[in-house]
């Protein structure tokens, strides 16, 4: 069996999960990647997406809307702007997230429009992955 490592997902409101896992699939701002025990240490930013853990008790999906991931010698810590089990994300809460992302896009200065558009697209893709459609 694969080695396990400590995984912690923390949002501003609470610790969402703390568990022993064999891998964490992370929606990085520069691309998705998988961290496993023994991964080289580094810190990266997150984009909105679905973070998946795999461990002795199966796999679990979590919706995150940005933040940071620290991959260390002992495990992975994710500090998310918003983070929750994907099954806990309601259509109403998701619609609110998309509305805020679209508002940020429409108000973005010219040099940030592309980044704001990507934020909206990432948010919609996250909803599609967990079965929540974005209202137009």
- What is the rounded distance in angstroms from the CA atom of residue 134 to the CA atom of residue 136? 6
- pLDDT tens digits for range 81-117: 988 898 888 888 888 888 888 887 777 777 777 777 7
Radius of gyration of the chain (CA): 15
Q: What is the residue extent of each domain of the chain?
A: 5-86, 89-130
124 within 8 A of 98, measured Cβ to Cβ = yes
Domain boundaries 5-86, corresponding CATH code:
2.60.15.10
35 within 8 A of 76, measured Cβ to Cβ = yes
Model's pTM, two decimal places? 0.80
63 within 8 A of 78, measured Cβ to Cβ = no
The residue written with tokens 């810190």 in the block is: 43
The two three-digit tokens of residue 103, written as one number: 């508002």
């Amino acid at each position: 069996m694969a080695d396990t490592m400590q995984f912690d997902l923390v949002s501003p409101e609470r610790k969402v999960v703390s568990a022993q896992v064999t891998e964490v699939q992370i929606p990085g701002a520069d691309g998705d990647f998988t961290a496993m025990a023994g991964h080289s240490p580094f810190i990266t930013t997150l984009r909105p997406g679905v973070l998946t853990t795999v461990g002795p008790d199966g796999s679990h999906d979590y919706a995150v809307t940005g933040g940071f991931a620290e991959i260390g010698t002992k495990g992975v810590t994710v500090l998310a702007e918003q983070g929750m089990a994907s099954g806990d994300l309601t259509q109403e809460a998701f619609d609110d997230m998309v509305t805020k992302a679209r508002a940020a896009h429409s108000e973005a200065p010219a040099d940030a429009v592309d980044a704001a558009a990507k934020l909206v697209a990432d948010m919609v893709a996250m909803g599609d992955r967990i079965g929540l459609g974005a209202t137009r």
